[in-house]
Copies of this chain bind each other. A is one copy, B any other.
Amino acid sequence: MSAVKRDTYTPQSLLAVAVQVFNERGYDGTSMEHLSKAAGISKSSIYHHVASKEDLLRRAVSRALDGLFGILDEEHARVGRAVERLEYVTRRMVEVLTAELPYVTLLLRVRGNTDTEQWAMERRREFDHQVAELFEAAVADGDLRADVEGRLATRLLFGMINSVVEWYRPEVRGADGPAVADAVVQLAFHGLRTDT
Contacts and interface: CB of A to CB of B under 8 A. Distances in A.
Contacts of A155: 163, 167
A99 interface: no
A145 B175 contact: no
A167 to B, nearest CB: 6
Given A160-B156, A180-B152, A196 B187 contact: no
Secondary structure call for the A interface: helix
Interface string A161-194: 0111011000000110001101110111111111
A175 B192 contact: no
Contacts of A166: 159
B152 A175 contact: yes
Copies of this chain held together in the complex = 2
A148 interface: yes
A147 interface: yes
Contacts of A182: 148
A157 interface: yes
A174 B192 CA distance: 26
A149 B184 CA distance: 11
Given A194-B145, A196-B191, A159 B159 contact: yes
A195 interface: yes
Interface string A136-161: 00000011110111001101111110
Given A191-B190, A192-B189, A193-B190, A159 B149 contact: no
Interface of A: 26, 29, 83, 142-145, 147-149, 152-153, 155-160, 162-164, 166-167, 174-175, 179-180, 182-184, 186-196
